[in-house]
């Protein structure tokens, strides 16, 4: 741990210098935040290893020598970052414990450069960067060139005021076009462009860059609330961001976050989150600050579309069908509101096609905002120590020699008794979209398998005979065992589609299981269906038809199904049969944008009820695109392909007529 702390301190200190002083970041914001978060946790756990130059003791970095050093009248703090709704709620809960019924000011977090301004008798005197929070850089000559900043206020007051210097999207494009014409490297983003522009020794360069500024804080105020401060700043003639609001509770704060998460791209400038501040200034003073952050404010960071982290290793897991899956072991990093440590790499071809190597820095994103996906290596950050993956030859669990699948893409463990295959089958059987047995999670199933209580799916339904043995296990009491047995008993009454999904027929998930259950209504009819008959069903096709037929032809599987029948597991479809409607039946729909009167999941369920299909992408085979607010590219694609479009009003009229 001591070596890891030392490594993190070196990386983060270097990142601070490159980011704040040289305008040449080598870590993304999310990458930096994740490493800093890891360092905070390690220092808390191992305080004896804290280094004197740790970045957790500083707000930023030292100033560069080309600019005069300026000591701030009051320290300039940065804000603690949070990354999801739960962390926002936790912040508000802490405030409410001290000051019930508090109000909060929510503001857009500008993606620019923090600055402190001094006015004397209403006349602009000086400007300085944050620097290390105590000492900053004197950038007065450049700040004077900002057209939106008044050099004389509407009142003759002495004032220290803080804000953010930024560059608009339009100005950013203009600057980069000019740099490319001059053979110069373009800026990475508007924040870097603003920071680089404000640190020019020649103020004429800053003037050409068309910078802007918003002011958002009075460190020494005699007013009552932060909102009053903002109104006062505005009255003085200083530019403020108009998109702020006063929220009275957590729900209103989250509503503001949700609104601007969706609308951020409509702004003429970049924002990277939302700032949430306690409104009452007296309460702010009582809450105080840590060494690094004020306790009365936080910055909610928008989920990143794509981040960079290090691929530390590639390990292999065995699925319920024996498929061997390579998995990326990553340096922990915040992505879309959660910390990601692992990601599937799917198969060997995918690794070689993307040229991923152990030790690479890689781009990471969440596919569909859910599943972490390693996109590509960051080639320019390779240093020669990266290693090309050598595929394993034997199963990592039972050590049986691996074979290639029929597709020649995947590797398989052929041992049907491989413990990993059996455990994965049990985990799948009890999962939410399958038999939905609460209390039999992955860890418990592994323990039960290893001590011999459960070896196959029929053993699950005999657990009642081992009640006394279960109660003796660590972590289990009479109540938890009763709840588990009740959940197992309830699972017997599931509709057929859940059982079909749970059985683990290759390629059959809950969607196709529902199609089969509706079509055949009971398992005996399905078991007797021919390959030719199955092949004619929409969304099944020849491969799945063969998989279904082969599964039910297997004597072992038939014995399992017969045993489940005797135990009392339901084998019939309990859902509604498909209804017919001229607007919906046998059509393919795409839903885009936000619908005001019905949730997307509810609409999809309704469409399926009328034997319609839904898709996430628009193609020439799409029949109708349903459009809500802020529809995006799917709407444009529908127009391009001349596909029928329903707005909310038409959809509501059709639904009301049912």
125 in catalytic set: no
Q: What is residue 447's three-state secondary structure?
A: helix
CA-based angle 591:593:595, to the nearest 5? 85
Identical fold for domains 307-412 and 419-567, yes or no, is no
The CATH number of domain 419-567, selected from 1.10.3720.10, 1.10.150.20, 1.20.930.40, 3.40.50.1970 = 1.10.150.20
What the block records as the tokens of 97 is 């414990």
Closest CA to 148 of 172, 168, 132, 134: 168
What the block records as the tokens of 629 is 């607010």
Q: What is the pLDDT of residues 27-56, one digit of tens each?
A: 887 788 888 888 888 888 988 888 876 877
Q: What gap in Å lies between CA 361 and CA 208, rounded to an integer?
A: 36
Q: Which top CATH class is 69-301? A: alpha beta
Q: What is residue 537's three-state secondary structure?
A: coil
Contact predicate 300/264, CB 8 Å:
no
Predicted pLDDT at 471: 81
Predicted pLDDT at 618: 87
Predicted pLDDT at 64: 43
DSSP assignment, residue 62?
P
Q: Using N-to-C axis directions, what is the helix angle for 2-20 and 29-45, rounded to 10°?
A: 140
Q: Which of 109, 277, 613, 634 is catalytic?
A: 109
Domain ranges of the chain: 2-57, 69-301, 307-412, 419-567, 588-656
Q: What gap in Å lies between CA 528 and CA 516, rounded to an integer?
A: 13
The CATH number that domain 2-57 falls under is 1.10.287.610
The alpha-carbon radius of gyration of the chain (Å, integer) is 30
Question: Per-residue DSSP letters for 294-350?
Answer: BTTEEEEEPPPSSEEEEEEEEEEEE-TT-EEEEEEEEEEEEETTEEEEEEE---HHH
Give pLDDT < 50 ranges for the chain.
20-21, 58-64, 368-369
Which phi and psi angles does 589 have, rounded to 5°?
A: -115, 150
Instruction: Give me the helices (H) in 46-125, please.
Output: 85-98
Question: Per-residue DSSP letters for 184-208?
Answer: PPPPSSHHHHHHHHHT-SSHHHHHH
Q: For residue 39, give Cα distances in angstroms to 334, 411, 417, 454, 651.
A: 14, 39, 43, 42, 52
Q: Using N-to-C axis directions, what is the helix angle for 190-198 and 169-181, rounded to 10°?
A: 70
Q: Which CATH architecture has domain 588-656?
A: 3-Layer(aba) Sandwich (3.40)
* Topology (CATH) of 307-412: OB fold (Dihydrolipoamide Acetyltransferase, E2P) (2.40.50)
Task: Show the beta-strand stretches assigned E in 168-270.
Answer: 212-217, 245-247
Closest CA to 236 of 162, 164, 150: 150
Predicted pLDDT at 523: 96
Question: Per-residue DSSP letters for 363-423?
Answer: EEEEETTTEEEEEEE-GGG--S--EE----SB-TTT-PBPEE-TTSSSEE---TT-HHHHH
């Amino acid at each position: 741990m001591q070596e890891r702390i030392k490594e993190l301190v070196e990386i983060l200190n270097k990142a601070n210098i490159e980011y704040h002083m040289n305008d040449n970041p080598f870590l993304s914001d999310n990458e930096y935040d994740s490493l800093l978060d890891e360092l905070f946790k390690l220092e808390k756990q191992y305080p004896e290893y804290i280094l004197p130059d740790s970045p957790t003791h500083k707000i930023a970095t030292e100033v560069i020598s080309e600019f005069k050093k300026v000591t701030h009248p009051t320290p300039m703090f940065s804000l603690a970052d949070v990354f999801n709704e739960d962390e926002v709620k936790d912040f508000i809960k802490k405030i409410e414990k001290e000051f019930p019924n508090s109000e909060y000011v929510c503001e857009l977090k500008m993606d620019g450069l923090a600055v402190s301004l001094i006015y004397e008798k209403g006349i602009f005197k000086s400007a300085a960067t944050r620097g290390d929070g105590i000492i900053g850089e004197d950038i007065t000559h450049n700040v004077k060139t900002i057209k939106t900043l008044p050099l004389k206020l509407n009142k003759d007051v002495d004032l220290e005021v803080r804000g953010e210097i930024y560059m608009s999207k339009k100005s950013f494009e203009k600057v980069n076009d000019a740099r490319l014409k001059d053979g110069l490297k373009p800026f990475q983003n508007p924040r870097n462009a603003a920071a680089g522009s404000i640190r020019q020794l020649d103020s004429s360069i800053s003037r050409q860059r068309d910078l802007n500024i918003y002011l958002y804080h009075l460190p020494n105020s005699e007013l009552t609330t932060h909102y009053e401060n903002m109104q006062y700043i505005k009255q003085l003639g200083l530019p403020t961001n108009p998109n702020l609001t006063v929220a009275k509770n957590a729900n209103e704060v989250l509503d503001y976050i949700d609104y601007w998460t969706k609308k951020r791209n409509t702004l003429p400038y970049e924002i990277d989150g939302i700032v949430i501040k306690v409104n009452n200034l007296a309460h702010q003073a009582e809450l105080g600050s840590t060494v690094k952050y004020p306790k009365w404010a936080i910055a909610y960071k928008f989920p990143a579309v794509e981040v960079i982290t290090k691929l530390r290793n590639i390990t292999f897991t065995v699925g319920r069908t024996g498929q061997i899956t390579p998995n990326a072991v990553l340096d922990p990093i915040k992505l879309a509101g959660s910390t990601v440590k692992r990601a599937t790499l799917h198969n060997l071809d995918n690794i070689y096609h993307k040229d991923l190597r152990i030790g690479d820095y890689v781009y990471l994103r969440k596919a569909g905002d859910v599943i972490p996906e390693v996109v590509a290596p960051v080639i320019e950050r390779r240093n020669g120590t990266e290693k090309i993956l050598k595929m394993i030859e034997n199963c990592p669990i039972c050590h049986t020699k691996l074979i290639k699948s029929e597709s020649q893409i995947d590797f398989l463990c052929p041992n049907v008794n491989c413990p990993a295959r059996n455990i994965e089958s049990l985990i799948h059987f009890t999962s939410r979209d399958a038999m939905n047995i609460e209390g039999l999670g992955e860890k418990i199933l592994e323990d039960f398998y290893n001590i011999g209580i459960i070896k196959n799916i029929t053993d699950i339904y005999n657990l009642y005979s081992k009640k006394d043995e279960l109660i003796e296990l660590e972590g289990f009491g009479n109540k938890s065992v009763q709840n588990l047995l009740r959940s197992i008993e309830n699972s017997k009454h599931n509709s057929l589609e859940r059982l079909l999904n749970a059985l683990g027929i290759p390629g059959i998930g809950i969607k196709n299981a529902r199609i089969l259950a509706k079509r055949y209504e009971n398992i005996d009819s399905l078991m007797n269906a021919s390959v030719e008959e199955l092949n004619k069903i929409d969304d099944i096709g020849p491969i799945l038809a063969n998989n279904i037929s082969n599964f039910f032809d297997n004597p072992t599987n038939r014995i399992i199904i017969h045993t489940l029948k005797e135990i009392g597991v339901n084998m019939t479809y309990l859902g509604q049969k498909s209804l017919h409607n001229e607007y919906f039946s046998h059509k393919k729909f795409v839903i885009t944008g936000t619908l005001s009167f019905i949730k997307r999941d509810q609409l999809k369920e309704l469409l399926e009820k009328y034997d319609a299909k839904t898709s996430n992408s628009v193609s020439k085979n799409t029949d109708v695109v349903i459009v809500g607010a802020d529809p995006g590219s799917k709407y444009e694609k529908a127009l391009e392909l001349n596909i029928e479009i329903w707005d909310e009003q038409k959809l509501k009229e059709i639904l009301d007529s049912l």
